[in-house]
Chains A and B, each alone.
Chain A
Amino acid sequence: MSNQEKKILVIGGGISGMSAALDASETGYSVILIEKRPSLGGRVSRFHQYFPKLCPPMCGLEINYKRIRPNKNLQVLTSTEALKISGEAPDLKVTLKTSPTYVNHKCTACGDCVDVCPSERPDAFNFGMNKTRAIYLPQQMAYPNRFVIDRKHCPEGCDKCVVACNYQAIDLNMPAKEQEIDVSSVILATGWKPYDAKKLTHLGFSKFPNVINNIMMERLASLSGPTQGVVVRPSDKKPPKSVAFIQCAGSRDENHLPYCSSICCLASLKQISYVRAQNPEAEIYLFYIDIRTPGKYEDFAARIQEDPKLKLIKGKVAKITETADGSLVMEAEDILKGNKVHIEVDMAVLATGMEPSIAGQSFVGDTIKLDSSGFIQEDQKAGIFSAGVAKMPLDVSSSVIDASGAALKAIQNLRSD
C-alpha cells in the first residue's frame, strides 16, 4: 500500500476535526471524517459570534464547507460514530456505526416535508428553547444540507412526509449500518460539551428559568436561534434590564471541574457585548475569580471593560435565589471590598466550563488513555493522535493550530520508511 493509499480517520466534525481533516486531505492524503451528529459544525456552529472580532462563526464554517465540497480526498460520514478501534498501526481497524436519519442523499432541502409533518420535538440544537417538526434541518447551515427525522416523535403509522417528498428521499425503514474500515492513523477530535449546570445546585439552573448557561446565551443572541437573535429572559420573553454573568460555573472547582476552561472569561465578555448591543441601558454584573484574557485578547477585554454600566465583582456567587416575579438574587462575597453583596438581576448566565466529550464513548476502552479529567493524554499508542479540546481546554484559534499539528502527525505516521 502506498503512503497516499493509507487512510486517516478523523473522529469528530467540529472545528478541530474539520480543520485536521481538511489540512491532511489538502496535503494529498485520503481522509475519512466522521461526526456523530447529522451535521458537521460542532460546538462553534451554535455560537453567535467569535471573540475578539465579533464575526460570525458561520463565515469560517462556510469556507470550510466550501473546501470540503469539491475535495475528492475527503469522505464525510455524518450520524456516524466509532464503536471500536483495534489492531496496530499502520493497520488499524475501526468499526463505524451510522445511525439512520431516515432521509437519504436525494434530499434537496426543499422543505416540502416540514409543511406536512404533524409532530413537534424540542430543538436540542437550541437547548429545547423552541420546537422543530419531527423532520427538521439539523441547523441552518447544515453540512450535509439535508433533513433528518427524529423518529421517536413520529406519530404511529404516519407517512405524510414520505408522500409529500417528490424525490424519494425519505425512507422510514432506513437501517443502522455498521462497517469496519482499515486506517493507518486516527485523529481524535471529539471536542467538549458544556458542563452540566444542574450539578451546580446552589446556582439554580433548571430550577429557575432565568438562569441559563452560556451556550443558551449564544443561541438566544443568534439569528438562527429560538428568538431570532433577541436576547430575552426565558420566563416572560422580555428583554432583560439587568444581567449577571457568573464565571467559573463548574470550572476551577474541585467538586466539579478542577481545571480552568480557558475560554469562559472571553465568552462572557463577548456576551456582555451582545446584551449591550441590544440594550444600551442594561445593568451588567460580572462575578469572577480572575479575568483570564491572554495575549492580544486583552485589547478586546479592555474595550469591553470600559463599559460604564458593567460592574466587575471579584468573588464567587454562593447562591442564587428567585423572587416572586422570576428575578434572581445573587448572593456573593466581594473579595476586594471584603463584604457580602446581594444583587438582583433579571437574568443570570452561568459561564459553564468545558467538559471533554470522549469519556464513555465505546471505542475508548483500554485503547485510549485519558487523564483524570477525561482529556486525552498526549502519548497514545502508535497511530492515534488528538486535536483540540479533546486534549485540553482551548479557544477556537488554538484548536485549529492544534488540528494542523495533529494532521501532520497523522501524515508522519503513514510514512512506511
Chain B
Amino acid sequence: MKKKCGIYICSGCGIDAAVDTQALIKVAEKELKAEACHVHPFLCDDSGLELIKSDLRAGTVDHFVVAACSQRFHQQSFDMGPEHMVLRAPIREYVAWMMEPRDENGKVNEDTQMAAADYIRMYGARVKRMEIPQPFEQDTIKSVLVIGGGITGINAALEVSKAGYPVHLVEKQAELGGAAKEYRSFLPQKAPYRDLEDNQLEELISRLKSKSDISLYPSSTVDAIDGEPGNFTVRIKNGQSQKTVAIGSVILATGGKSYDKNKLTHLGAQFKNVVSSDEFEAMAKTGKLTRQDGSPAKTIAFIQCAGSRDKNHLSYCSSTCCMNSLKQAAYVRQIDPETKAYILYRDMRTPGLYENFYKKQQDDPGIFLTKGEIAQVSEDGERSILIDLDNSLLGDQIQLKADLLVLATGQVSSLVDEESHLNLGYRQGKDLPDLNHGYPDSHFICFPYETRRTGIFSAGPVRHPMDINEAKRDAAGAALKAVQTLELTSMGKSMHPRVGDLSKPDFYLARCTSCKRCTEECPFGMLDEDEKGTPRPNPARCRSCGTCMGACPERIISFADYSIQQISDMIKEVEIPDEFEEKPRILIFACENDSLPAFDMAALNRIRINPYIRIIPVRCLGGINLVFVSDALSVGFDGVMFMGCKFGDDYQCHFVKGSELCNERLSKVQETISRLNLESERIRQFTVTLNDYDKLPEIINDFVTEIDAFGPNPFKGM
C-alpha cells in the first residue's frame, strides 16, 4: 500500500537560525511529494503535536518524518501509535547545532542548508519504504528448565516457581544438593556477618519437594534442547529411559568444581598429609580432624591461592577461598580448641561485610594469619609438612611445621573438560560460547545476563567463581531473566538490548544460495540449516541486530522497518555536487548504541563538525552490507566512515560480534576497491564510543583531508 507521508519540520531550538526551513518544505513537497509538509516553531509542544495528529485524524498522512531533535528527546510525545511509523530526522543536532549558522545578515550557509535538505530527503525516502513490524506469534510455553540441582539450581527453581511458573529441574546425581551436601556449615549470610550458619540444604530440598509445580529429574541429564525461547523441546535422559518436555527458557546452574589438587605438586599435593579444601570440608563434617594415619592433627595450615592467581594454573582469583579457609579455620577451633590454624595468604580477600567475619577470626588467639610467599613445601620423617615462607609478616624466611596442610584449591567452571550439559541443537554448537577461562558469562558490566544464546541464562559458579550467598543472588537474577524471556517472547518482542522490538528478519529464500554466511555470523545462533544449507530461522532467538542482513551477499534478508532497500534509498537521496573541490561528500554509518549518541553529545556541546558528512544510523555495524559501500561509491560519495564499538577481547559491541564482522567484511571489500583503481582508504572503520564525542571533528577532518588528497571519487556524476 502506498504510504502517505507527512514531513514536519521544527524551526525552534536554533534550527531557524541555521537553516531556511521554508526551503526545506519545498524539498519535501517537490522532490518527495509528501502528502503533508509543515513548519512549526515548537513541534514538541501541544500545538505542534496537534498539527501532526490532525493530519493523522484526517487520514492525510500515515507515515511521519519529524525533522527536529534527535530520538533521545520526546520519544513518547511523537509516538503516533503502533500503526504508524515515525522517523526522526535530527536536523537540530546533526545540522543546526553542529554546522555553520546563518551569517550576521541572516543569510544561510549553503553547506548547512544542503545538509538539512539531504536529511529531509534521506528520511523522507526511507519512511516511504518502511512497514509496520508484525509481531512474530507462537504459542509460548511458560515454564523454565533448570539444569543442576545444587544451591544455585534449587534457589533458581524456587524463585521461578514463586513467581508462578512451572519448573523442570534436572540433576545428574541421585541426590540434590551438589557441592553443598558436604558442607559442615554455610558462610555468614546476615548482619552482623560474624557467625557461620548451619547447613540449610535439607530445608531447601524439602521446600523444593513440596512445590507441586516443580518437576524433579534426579539421576538425569539433558540429552537435547531444540527449538527457541518460548518453545524449546528438551529430551531428558535417565539411564536408558528418556522423557521429552516442552519449556520456554533455560537456567544453566551446573556449578563449579575444585581445581585438581594433584596438579599442585609445588605445594606438596603428593604428600600424604596434604588435602584439598573439599577433602578438609568433608573431614570437618565428620567432626574429626586427623592425619592420614588417624592421629589427631593439632596444627593445621592453609595455603591460599592454591592454583589461583597463578599463570601456570588459574590466572584468575577464585574469590571464595579466603572466606572458605576462614570458615574452615573456625571449624578447627570448634572441633578442638587446642588445635591451631595457620592461614598463609597473598592478600586476604573478604569483601564487603565479610570483613566482620575475618575480624572475628583474627581475634581468635588460635588462628594465625600471615601474608607470605611460599618458597617450598616439604615433608619430614614423621610425615609432617614443612612450609618455607619468604617475606612473611612473621619474618623473612621462616619455616612452619604443620600436621596437616589444606590447599585452598580454586574454582573451575563445570563447562571445562566436561560433556555438554545443554546439548543445544543449534547450528553454531551445543554449548553457550565461552569467553575466557571456560566461563560462559556475559561480557557486559551493565548487562551481566546477556549471553549469546537468547533465553538461556547461566547462574552460579558455572559462570563465575562465587560462593553460596552470591550464587543465591545470581539464581534470583537469572530466574527473573528466564521469566522475562517467557513474557517478552509471548508478545513477539525482542530481548535486551532492543527490548520490545517487534521486528524480526524476513528471508526471501527463493533467492538464497545457501552460502551460510548468515547462519555462521549471527551472534546469537538464531539460524539453523536444513540439509541443503538453507537457513531455518528461529525468530524468538533473534535480537534484531541485523547482522544477518549485513552478511547476506544476495541481499534477501530484511526487516519491515530496517532493510537494505531503506538504507540504499537514504544513500541515493543525498545530492552529490559535481564540483568536488569545494564539496566532497562523506557518508558515515554510525552504530546507534554508542557512536550515534556521541554525535548527540557533540551537538549538545555545540562542537562544530565538517558540513560534508551525512550520517546514517544503523542498529549495529554488523548490519553493514557491502552493497552500502558500492551504493555510496556509485552515487559519488568520496569516502565512507563506519563508526561503531570496540571489538576484540575487550569488545564493547552490544551485539557481541557486530563491529568485528563489519571490520572483516570491509577488509575484504577493500581489495575489490583497489582493483577498481580506487584508494581502499576511502572506506574505513573507526571505534567511536560515547566518550569520544570531542574527538569527532578531528577524526572526521583527518579523514576528509586524506580523501582530499586522493581527489574526487571518479564515479561521481557517472
Binding site for B on A (CB under 8 A): 15, 19, 22-23, 26-28, 48-50, 53-67, 69-72, 106, 108-110, 140-141, 145, 166-167, 223, 228-229, 252, 258-262, 290-299, 302, 314, 335-336, 371-373, 375, 377-379, 392-394, 396-398, 400-409, 411-412, 415, 417
Contact of A396 among B354, B446, B601 (CB under 8 A): B446
Contact status A110-B163, CB under 8 Å: no
A133 CA to B332 CA in the complex, in Å? 63
Contact status A63-B371, CB under 8 Å: no
Contact status B12-A401, CB under 8 Å: no
Q: Which residues of A contact B708 (CB under 8 A)?
A: none
Q: Which residues of A contact B208 (CB under 8 A)?
A: none
Contact status A56-B690, CB under 8 Å: yes
Interface CB pairs A-B, < 8 A, 23: A23-B480, A27-B484, A49-B691, A53-B652, A55-B652, A55-B689, A56-B689, A56-B691, A57-B446, A110-B12, A141-B601, A223-B691, A223-B693, A223-B694, A229-B694, A292-B347, A294-B349, A299-B315, A371-B191, A373-B353, A401-B474, A404-B480, A408-B480
Which B residue sits closest to A396, measured CB to CB? B445
Contact status B650-A294, CB under 8 Å: no
Contact status B499-A26, CB under 8 Å: yes
A49 CA to B446 CA in the complex, in Å? 12
Q: Does B73 contact A (CB under 8 A)?
A: yes
Nearest chain B CB to A296 CB, angstrom units: 5
Nearest chain B CB to A153 CB, angstrom units: 22
Q: Does B327 contact A (CB under 8 A)?
A: no
Q: Does B76 contact A (CB under 8 A)?
A: yes
Task: Using A67-B499, A260-B351, A400-B447 as known contacts, list a sample of 20 further A-B pairs with CB atoms less than 8 Å apart, ordered by residue number in A.
Answer: A27-B484, A62-B690, A67-B497, A108-B13, A140-B601, A223-B694, A261-B352, A292-B351, A294-B465, A295-B317, A298-B317, A299-B436, A375-B191, A404-B449, A404-B476, A405-B159, A405-B473, A405-B476, A405-B479, A408-B480
- Interface pairs A-B: 9 shortest CB-CB: A60-B446, A405-B476, A371-B191, A404-B477, A408-B480, A290-B347, A298-B317, A294-B319, A262-B351
A402 CA to B488 CA in the complex, in Å? 21
Given known A-B contacts A335-B393, A377-B191, A296 and B436 have beta carbons under 8 A apart: yes
B399-449 residues with Cβ-Cβ distance < 8 A to A are 436-437, 439, 443-449
Contact of A109 among B371, B487, B604 (CB under 8 A): B604
Contact string, B345-358, partner A, CB cutoff 8 A, digits 1/0? 00111111111100
Task: Name the residue in B164, B348, B393, B690 with the highest tally of chain A Cβ atoms < 10 Å from its Cβ.
Answer: B690
Which A residue sits closest to B43, measured CB to CB? A108
Q: Which residues of A contact B371 (CB under 8 A)?
A: 290, 314, 336
Nearest chain B CB to A174 CB, angstrom units: 18
Contact status A59-B652, CB under 8 Å: yes
Contact string, B69-95, partner A, CB cutoff 8 A, digits 1/0? 101110110010000000000000000
Nearest chain B CB to A209 CB, angstrom units: 27
Q: Does B45 contact A (CB under 8 A)?
A: yes
Q: Which residues of B contact A294 (CB under 8 A)?
A: 317, 319, 349, 351, 465
Contact status A296-B476, CB under 8 Å: no
Q: Which residues of A contact B466 (CB under 8 A)?
A: 295
Q: From DSSP, what is the main secondary structure of chain B's interface residues? A: loop
Q: Which residues of A contact B496 (CB under 8 A)?
A: 67
Q: Which residues of B contact A409 (CB under 8 A)?
A: 159, 476
Contact status B473-A60, CB under 8 Å: no
Q: From DSSP, what is the main secondary structure of chain A's interface residues? A: loop
Q: Which residues of B contact A261 (CB under 8 A)?
A: 352
Contact of A63 among B443, B464, B480, B654 (CB under 8 A): B654
Q: Does B481 contact A (CB under 8 A)?
A: yes
Which A residue sits closest to B491, measured CB to CB? A28
Q: Which residues of B contact A110 (CB under 8 A)?
A: 12-14
A295 CA to B322 CA in the complex, in Å? 12
Q: Does B234 contact A (CB under 8 A)?
A: no
Contact status A71-B69, CB under 8 Å: no
Q: Which residues of A contact B287 (CB under 8 A)?
A: none
Nearest chain A CB to B363 CB, angstrom units: 12
Contact status A298-B445, CB under 8 Å: no
Q: Which residues of B contact A372 (CB under 8 A)?
A: 191-192
Which A residue sits closest to B354, measured CB to CB? A260
Q: Does B221 contact A (CB under 8 A)?
A: no
Which A residue sits closest to B651, measured CB to CB? A53
Contact status B694-A228, CB under 8 Å: yes
Binding site for A on B (CB under 8 A): 12-14, 41-42, 44-45, 69, 71-73, 75-76, 79, 159, 162-164, 189-192, 308-309, 315-319, 347-356, 359, 371, 391, 393, 436-437, 439, 443-449, 464-466, 470, 473-481, 483-484, 487-488, 496-497, 499-500, 593-594, 597, 601, 604-605, 646, 650, 652, 654, 689-691, 693-694
Contact status A63-B319, CB under 8 Å: no
A216 CA to B464 CA in the complex, in Å? 31
Contact status A295-B464, CB under 8 Å: yes
Which B residue sits closest to A409, measured CB to CB? B476
Task: Name the residue in A19, A22, A66 with the highest tally of chain B Cβ atoms < 10 Å from its Cβ.
Answer: A66
Nearest chain A CB to B322 CB, angstrom units: 9
Nearest chain B CB to A216 CB, angstrom units: 18
A397 CA to B449 CA in the complex, in Å? 10
Q: Which residues of A contact B13 (CB under 8 A)?
A: 108, 110
Given known A-B contacts A110-B14, A295-B316, A397-B448, A53 and B690 have beta carbons under 8 A apart: no
Given known A-B contacts A223-B693, A290-B349, A258 and B356 have beta carbons under 8 A apart: yes
Which B residue sits closest to A415, measured CB to CB? B164
Which A residue sits closest to B359, measured CB to CB? A258
Contact status B593-A63, CB under 8 Å: yes
Contact status B353-A375, CB under 8 Å: yes
Which A residue sits closest to B305, measured CB to CB? A298
Contact status A292-B652, CB under 8 Å: no
Contact status B309-A402, CB under 8 Å: no
A50 CA to B447 CA in the complex, in Å? 13
Q: Which residues of A contact B436 (CB under 8 A)?
A: 296, 299
Contact status B477-A405, CB under 8 Å: yes
Given known A-B contacts A53-B650, A372-B191, A407-B480, A296 and B691 have beta carbons under 8 A apart: no
Q: Which residues of A contact B605 (CB under 8 A)?
A: 140
Contact status B465-A70, CB under 8 Å: no
Nearest chain B CB to A293 CB, angstrom units: 6
Contact status B500-A70, CB under 8 Å: yes
Contact of B445 among A108, A302, A373, A397 (CB under 8 A): A397
Contact of A393 among B352, B444, B693 (CB under 8 A): B352
Contact status A259-B353, CB under 8 Å: yes
Contact status A23-B317, CB under 8 Å: no
Q: Which residues of A contact B646 (CB under 8 A)?
A: 55
Contact status B500-A71, CB under 8 Å: yes
Nearest chain A CB to B338 CB, angstrom units: 29
A336 CA to B473 CA in the complex, in Å? 37
